[in-house]
Structure 1
Amino acid sequence: MTAGEPRAAFSEAYGRTPTAVASAPGRVNLVGGHTDYNEGLVLPMAVDLRTAVALAPRDDGRIRLRSTEFADEVVVDGLPDDPIDDRDDSWANYPLGVLVELDAAGLAPVGDGLDLLVTGDVPQGAGLSSSAALEVATAAAAYGLDPGVETGTDLPKGRLAEAAWRAETGFVGLDCGIMDQYASALCRADEALFLDCRSRETERVPFPDDDYRVVVVDTRVEHELAASAYNDRVAECREAAERLNDLLGGVDTLRDVDRDDFLAHADHLSAPLRRRVRHVVTENERVRAAAAALSAGDFDAVGDRMYESHASLRDDYEVSCRELDAVVDVAWTTDGVVGARMTGGGFGGSVVALVAADAVDEFSARVDRALSEEADVHPRTFVCASAEGVRLE
């Protein structure tokens, strides 16, 4: 996507020039599965696929939204109180929710209405968090409507990420953690982002991708359990935290439980809750270890933590499936692949792998053969480089 494409698409759609344009990247999460909504630790990286949002103000209170991915225009009269209850137009709830949050926070008054156009190349449903890229790009573009904000200005990226997260959890109603929005907003090229999802503290971790590539394999599979199981895991973690708080005190979320606490009180938990807690506790440890290894340039150690993460997500968190496991098995047996793990909610979706540059083609071919033969699945593969976070164009 070139810088001029969103402007040209906006002009074609609305017959005028946009006032502000912003773009935000998709992301991968190297380690840190299902820890974000437990206020834990994650290690994401922005990728070189972006979503752009172009805006121009109106003076009649009407909000018109278009996307190059969808044929129909969505029109609302004023900022809505509730999401659009229409499956075909549900994509519009993500930018609408952001506009509602920004207006309420005084970051971008948009009550007089606007025209909005979405374009870009972050694929939907591929585990690269296209929704967060859309939210964060919308937030930055709306902020850029202020005449005093110019291209290249320092954006309040943390505040925009928080508004985008509130839009997804509050307006859209998805019970997610902060990771995706923070990654899309704050990541930088040649770095991963060590993020504490409780304190919002970040640490930039060097990720020179001269020798290794991040490969995302979208299995194109989503089992019926995906949505309900995600909600079940969130509820189980809350139940486990409540139980451990009764035993230990001071446990607001599973972030407050360390290995010694867990081992000392594991027998007081039911078997399913014991497995959930063990995953969260050990996954936070793996994130710390992976960040330290990446800082030291030890990609083999990073890969080991990825494989361990997948095993924990499969066995203790129980959110994997045979297609995801098949991709990780191929990674394990392919020379040049140092690590792989499922990413996202689970029960389908994608695997992220850390692959030597000269092994990418072989890995991709082997994955395609394995899934075609074993599961009659034809995956999409994305070879990603690290990228800058949100910016005004």
Structure 2
Amino acid sequence: MNDILIKKTTAFFKETFGAEPQKVVLSPGRINIIGEHIDYNDGYVLPAAIDKIICFAFEKSNSDTSRIIAIDLDDEFEIDVTDSMELTDNVWTNYIRGVVNQLKINDFEFEGFNCVFSSNIPVGSGLSSSAALECGFLFGINELFNLNIKPVDIALIGQSAEHWVGINCGIMDQFSSVMGLENKVIKIDCKTLEFEYHNADFIDYSLILFDSNVKHSLMTSAYNERREQCEEGIAIIKNNFPEITSFRDCKEQHVLELQKVMSANVFKRCLFVVKEINRVKLACEALDNGKIEVLGQLMFETHEGLSTDYEVSCAELDMIVDTLKKEEAVVGSRLMGGGFGGCTINLIKKGHEEGIKKKLSALYFDAFGIELKIYDVKIGNGTSLYNNN
């Protein structure tokens, strides 16, 4: 599938600009195996890059003017790289403008360029197409103009660009898009950005995403509210236990002892965060020991916590997970991403995938009148230069 995308993108570039691109970049989406809503709570996350990508083609324009074309949207825009960047109503262009803005703020020297891109990452499904867009675009500019930006800094600049757009994301999405390795998950320390790879040997299992095909409007307001509740909770914990500096220092007992001085919601949010940080550690141990069914059970526990304690699930996602939990061939399932819609991530024993897809799709349509979208994914490499040789 990616070969087709690469050929389409490079052919479009040649047709538009009359020459082969000077650089071709592949930038992946990401999944998160476990560790949800704790990237902004000083926790650990366990993401991986996937084999769904954005393909970019670049050349220098030999002027200050840059032309950027989104093939899939049949849309384009031009900027003068010497101008100051401002947000516009055309949302996708803001991610590009945000990266250019960050490069200018950080005094990198570059000139105009031409860029086209196309993607097979499903948009709006929680696979971080925006991070792939920011980081792939930045990676290409870095290569085109020899800016010598390190991979970790590409992720950080991408995150800053998204903040400029107005989305206060953690570092996980950009980091996993840039730093991913085939058949590896990355345990990222969201406090220090230290990271380590763990084998993701899913040889007997398939990773399948079931997209609920819904996106409830609560998402942004609820996300900000959860962050505020967690900040309130950790302040109470620190006040009562001076030795604690962040959620990662907490045990469940610390939170339980403070239940009476926290609001009900703050208590539930804190309890989820502390449990989820521990689940990431246990998930790494399970992967290191090849115990995929243990990992799957942790995924089920995460979903339960996201649904009842963090309260970011919805009827559609709960139905998917509850249905799959009854299937012996499904060893793990949970909502992935911010919640209130989007995908579940599921580990299914090989040989059973098609039957489960068919059964779940029918039950889901009967329940909600909505077509389930299904994506088979494999763990792939992070953002890279494509070499046709």
Deviation digits for residues 254-288 of structure 1 (CA, Å, limit 9, x no counterpart): 34433232233232211100000001100000111
Counterpart of 2:27? 24
- Cα deviation for residue 164 of structure 1 reads 0.8
CA RMSD of aligned residues (A): 1.9
1:93 aligns with 2:94: yes
Question: Match of 1:68?
Answer: 71
Query: Counterpart amino acid of 1:323?
Result: E
Taking a change above 3 Å as real, the CA distance of residues 11 and 39 of structure 1, as seen in their structure-2 partners, is farther
Q: Shift of the alpha carbon at 1:374?
A: 0.5
C-alpha distance in 2, partners of 1:68/1:362?
35
Range with bigger deviation, 67-76 or 368-377: 67-76
From 201, 208, 214, the equivalent of 1:221 is 214
> What are the superposed Cα offsets for residues 1-40 of structure 1, whole Å, 9 maximum, x if unpaired?
2244432222223333322221111111111110111121
Output the CA distance in 1 between the equivalents of 2:141 and 2:309: 42
Distance 1:359 1:292, change over 3 A: same
One-letter amino acid of the counterpart of residue 215, structure 1: I
Alignment correspondent of 1:128: 127
SS in 1 for 2:14: helix
For 1:42, the equivalent position in structure 2 comes to 45
Contact 1:61 1:77 in 2 (8 A): yes
Q: Tell me: CA distance 1:79–1:232, structure 2 relative to 1, closer, same or farther (3 Å).
A: farther
Distance in 1, matches of 2:85 and 2:40, equals 24
**Equivalent position SS for 1:73:** strand
- The aligned runs of 1:253-264 (5 Å cut-off) are 253-264=246-257
Change (3 A) 1:80 1:217: farther
2:182 maps to 1:189: yes
* 1:346-361 map, 5 Å: 346-361=339-354
Query: Unpaired segments of 5 or more residues in structure 1?
Result: 150-154
Letter paired with 2:100: L
Q: Does 1:109 align with 2:104?
A: no
CA contact (8 A) 2:23 2:140 kept: yes
CA offset at residue 182 of structure 1?
Answer: 0.8
Q: Secondary structure at the match of 2:54?
A: strand
Whole-angstrom CA distance in 2 between matches of 1:377 and 1:251:
46
Whether the 8 Å CA contact 2:88–2:94 is kept in 1: the answer is no
Percent identical among aligned pairs is 31
In the other structure, the counterpart of 1:373 is 366
**Distance in 2 between the 1:100 and 1:21 partners?**
22
Equivalent residues of 1:165, 1:181 under 8 A apart: yes
Q: Does 1:314 align with 2:307?
A: yes
Say whether 1:158 aligns with 2:152: yes
In structure 1, C-alpha distance between the alignment counterparts of 2:8 and 2:165, rounded to whole Å: 28
* Structure 1 residues 116 and 261: alpha-carbon distance in aligned structure 2, compared to 1, 3 A threshold: same
**3-state SS of the aligned residue for 2:46?**
strand
Larger CA deviation: 132-141 vs 1-10: 1-10
Tell me the secondary structure at the aligned position of residue 52 of structure 1.
strand
* Pairwise CA distance, 1:74: 1.4
Q: Are the aligned partners of 1:127 and 1:218 in contact in 2 as well (CA < 8 Å)?
A: no
Shift of 1:102: 3.0
Aligned match for 1:167, one of 161, 179, 183: 161
For 1:305, give the aligned amino acid: L
Higher mean Cα deviation, 54-63 or 351-360?
Answer: 54-63
1:119 equivalent to 2:118? Answer yes
Confirm or deny that 1:209 pairs with 2:202.
yes
The one-letter amino acid paired with 2:28 is P
Counterparts in 2 of 1:233 and 1:81: CA distance versus 1, 3 Å: farther
Paired AA for residue 132 in structure 1: A
Which has the higher mean CA deviation after the structures are superposed, 292-301 or 244-253?
Answer: 244-253
Q: Secondary structure of the residue that 1:319 maps to in structure 2? A: coil
Query: What is the TM-score of this pair, normalised by structure 2?
Result: 0.93
1:127: how far off?
1.7
- Name the SS of the counterpart of 2:375 in structure 1: strand
For residue 253 of structure 1, report the CA deviation from its aligned partner: 4.8
